[in-house]
Chains A and B, each alone.
Chain A
């Protein structure tokens, strides 16, 4: 089936199998491998992308569900060669270790900040509740998000 949608600002029109998952569409069809698969059942959050402003596990979305929608993946965060302030702060705060959860963490944090530019620590922790990290204990990730929230 043919679907049209936007990814990272670019319009796409693709002929896809109706049972394809969004994560496979992004990774295999569009080569956007920044979105990671850690569990395939919406528990780890590594595959988080933003669909029309909402953070969503792309492993739980069927590709036809994004028809007419606008998706942002981790590849779409940096603009014109310049890193997004979230990306920059993750780097500065040593919030990046093995990096496998990082894209999903960034997208959940981005979706939060798009809606609520000045979240409390509690709100940040809740927004990242669906993103598991085994390296960091979350402390430095939360510091990084707090730092971005204090910037604007």
Chain B
């Protein structure tokens, strides 16, 4: 138990764990509705071209086929899958339900709705499509240099930005300049649950959509605007989600599924297979970043200049926002007198890029942290010592955002982590001269806590006490699988001093729960959690007021303990919550509930420092991560076991990012890694036992001091692994992933 807390900081299983271990919990993949139709997509087999003809005659003869959809019978209206609120900036509407001009291998050409999934699949395979091929631009370099071929009407440059803050300092001592170039690759989110969505448009004109989304109100916005429906006639229900990692954060299939339901007047379920998830949905964007730093010989950063190019894929989606976010991370992590970052998003004829865990931080922090090791090497300094001279201190000002970094404890993370990992001894040990080389690496990362300072970040809840002294917290949660529903219960339980099992917390439903922009920007524990705390506190005050009335004592004389209200100093004068709830109804003719809207007041940094040890086989090029420590500045762990799990899972993702995961596109524009056979996720034998060290200080505005964890945990992992490989081999590799082929070539060239 954490000091001073009864529930916060302990470990609780996620509230639906029993249903998950018994197979009782129904996911979208398992859901059925009466007269349900099943939909199957037909995707483009070419990277760029015009659909000249679609012949559905053979497909229509398949028994069970109800309707086949394509651009021929669908509106030519466009939407943006990232639009959370109406009028949102940087949301270009360029995505149709079906493409007439296909823009990547995997673009949507047609869909079949049938009475069974087997019939829909059979029919989709029988649709004949004739294309007129157009030249395909598969890399950002080609897309920028080719002025003839325009992937989108405005050209191939999707977005540009420039950030230039601070001033070039007067250099009192001699400086060195270091330049690097890092390529981070496209990756698949790899949630085990494939994308799925169900929709029904009833005869009253109401559209209901069941979807494992990260933002029901955004889905509603997109659907209502696209179909011209009243917002009140679109009901979006968040259903259990088998992982997202950002892959389900955009509103990818709700418009299409709703359209098919409206057209067929039957409920429709669209379920993707793994190949479709990889080649059609969204990928973490590939980003190339050049960094130039000027550093004093004693190791103080003076100037940091970066230039990034992000491959947006064929549609804009969230790419403009994501690209701009590349410039919002480094100044949260380092004190830099002069920071300049230019960048752009570029359309290519490849799979659409989209939101992914860390929202640009893994991309830019990997480039930064690989660069920092190169600087340290040039300075002949220990990379940990070099970083310690330059990391932000608590309550520094982030120059780019003009916001405080809050109680930033990244230095403490690095110091305590280096000690626990025995950094100094291990770093100075030889890397070995034989076939197997060992090395260690460290990397730091920063991420945010919500949207404050740039976007709507409020949330509304209602909490009520039932007649038996149990509670319902009506909240718009979007649990992606990491237990945010459970965390809200723990927070409210701590305030009300009751067993968290007595509190039932809801997930989001646009018709029944209060507004919340969604599970984005690491805002849930920091802001939604703070709302849960304040709502419970509001209800607690009401409980005390009612108890005061019943007991004929001033409220100030009362205290709450263990699900009861006591009169201070007189233990015999007490009321249980059950007695208060009953009497309030019977005698006061009122219920006990509290409604609250919370507005986030700040956006501090969350930090993580991670340490990796690797062993590289110089004959096969295979790298094994043999030891790993993740340190997290999380403010306060609400549910300790789940917080540790966030780091351990993030490390699995980060090791894959560093070493093996990539959605590669071949010269014909076809994705090479279109299945789990060809797209390798790190499995149990290849994972080290990840140690987690939590730094808890409670200096910011989150509930009981809690800060975000889900994204920051995934920010520095890849860089720690790459730095360890470079330490093992004496290289400066930065072209990800570090596959055996690349490592063998590097060993050979040394």
Contact = CB atoms under 8 A, between A and B. Distances in A.
A135 B644 CA distance: 11
Interface string A127-148: 0111111111111111000000
B253 interface: no
A98 B273 CA distance: 19
Contact of A136 (B26, B30, B645): B645
A29 to B, nearest CB: 12
Given A90-B21, A134-B653, A96 B684 contact: no
Nearest to B691: A139
Given A40-B274, A139-B689, A100 B649 contact: no
A38 B684 CA distance: 17
Nearest to A44: B676
Nearest to B679: A43
Interface stretch (B260-268, B384-392, B480-488): B480-488
Interface stretch (B9-17, B341-349, B522-530): B9-17
Interface string A33-73: 11111111101101000000000000000000000000001
B676 A43 contact: yes
A34 B639 CA distance: 26
A124 B124 CA distance: 42
Interface in B645-694: 645, 647-653, 675-677, 681, 683-685, 687, 689-690
A101 interface: yes
Contacts of B683: 128-132, 138
B638 to A, nearest CB: 13
Contacts of B566: none
Nearest to B482: A97
Interface of A: 27, 32-41, 43-44, 46, 73-75, 77-78, 83, 87, 90-94, 96-103, 106, 122, 124-126, 128-142
Contacts of A46: 192
B687 A98 contact: no
A132 B682 CA distance: 8
A98 B274 CA distance: 18
A34 B193 CA distance: 13
B641 interface: yes
Contacts of B189: 134
Contacts of B231: none
A36 B645 contact: no
A103 B676 CA distance: 19
B20 A140 contact: no
24 contacts: A36-B29, A36-B193, A39-B676, A43-B676, A77-B21, A87-B18, A91-B21, A94-B642, A96-B17, A96-B20, A96-B21, A97-B481, A98-B192, A98-B482, A99-B14, A99-B19, A102-B21, A130-B683, A131-B683, A134-B649, A134-B652, A136-B652, A137-B651, A140-B645
Q: Is the interface of B mostly helix, strand, loop or mixed?
A: loop
Contact of B23 (A75, A133, A136): A75
Nearest to B687: A138
Contacts of B439: none
A30 to B, nearest CB: 12
A72 B520 CA distance: 39
A137 B690 CA distance: 8
Nearest to A19: B118
Contact of B642 (A37, A97, A130, A138): A97
Interface stretch (B165-173, B240-248, B365-373, B417-425): B240-248
Contacts of A35: 23
Given A33-B30, A94-B642, A137-B652, A87 B21 contact: yes
Interface in B198-226: none
A135 B667 CA distance: 33
A100 B191 contact: yes
A96 B14 contact: yes
A134 B190 contact: yes
A34 B651 contact: no
B362 to A, nearest CB: 15
B23 A32 contact: yes
List the 8 closest pairs (A to B, CB-CB), nearest first. Answer: A34-B23, A98-B481, A100-B242, A99-B20, A137-B648, A94-B641, A43-B676, A33-B30
B27 interface: yes
Given A39-B274, A77-B22, A98 B242 contact: yes
B687 A132 contact: no
B242 A99 contact: yes
A122 B689 CA distance: 12
A103 B241 CA distance: 15
B684 A129 contact: yes
A61 B482 CA distance: 32
Given A102-B21, A138-B652, 10 more contacts: A38-B193, A43-B675, A77-B22, A96-B13, A129-B684, A132-B676, A134-B649, A134-B652, A135-B649, A136-B652
B684 A128 contact: yes
A135 B645 contact: yes
B681 A132 contact: yes
Contacts of A137: 645, 647-652, 687, 690
A91 B194 CA distance: 24
Given A44-B192, A92-B13, A94-B644, A33 B23 contact: yes
Contact of B676 (A41, A93, A136, A138): A41
Nearest to B118: A24
Contact of B481 (A40, A78, A135): A135
A100 B685 contact: no
A46 B192 CA distance: 8
A24 to B, nearest CB: 8
A80 to B, nearest CB: 13
A32 B653 CA distance: 30
Contact of B17 (A38, A91, A122): A91
Residue with the highest number of chain A CB atoms closer than 10 Å, among B23, B24, B194, B651: B23
A90 B681 contact: no
B25 interface: yes
Nearest to A33: B30
A88 to B, nearest CB: 8
Contacts of B677: 41, 43
A98 B241 contact: yes
A122 B241 CA distance: 31
Interface string B317-338: 0000000000000000000000
A62 to B, nearest CB: 15
Contacts of A142: 684, 689
Given A36-B193, A91-B21, A100 B274 contact: no
Contacts of A97: 14, 243, 481-483, 642, 645, 649
Given A94-B13, A99-B25, A129 B641 contact: no
B269 to A, nearest CB: 13
A110 to B, nearest CB: 11
B717 to A, nearest CB: 10
For A43, A129, A139, the residue with the greatest tally of chain B CB atoms inside 10 Å of its CB is A139
Nearest to B12: A94
Contact of B191 (A83, A91, A134): A134
A139 to B, nearest CB: 5
Contact of A91 (B13, B241, B649): B13
Contact of A33 (B26, B192, B482, B685): B26
A36 B241 CA distance: 13
A126 B685 CA distance: 6
A27 B31 CA distance: 11
B20 A38 contact: no
A36 B30 CA distance: 9
A112 B677 CA distance: 24
Nearest to B677: A43
Contact of B641 (A36, A98, A124, A140): A140
A106 B21 contact: yes
B574 to A, nearest CB: 33
A137 B684 CA distance: 8
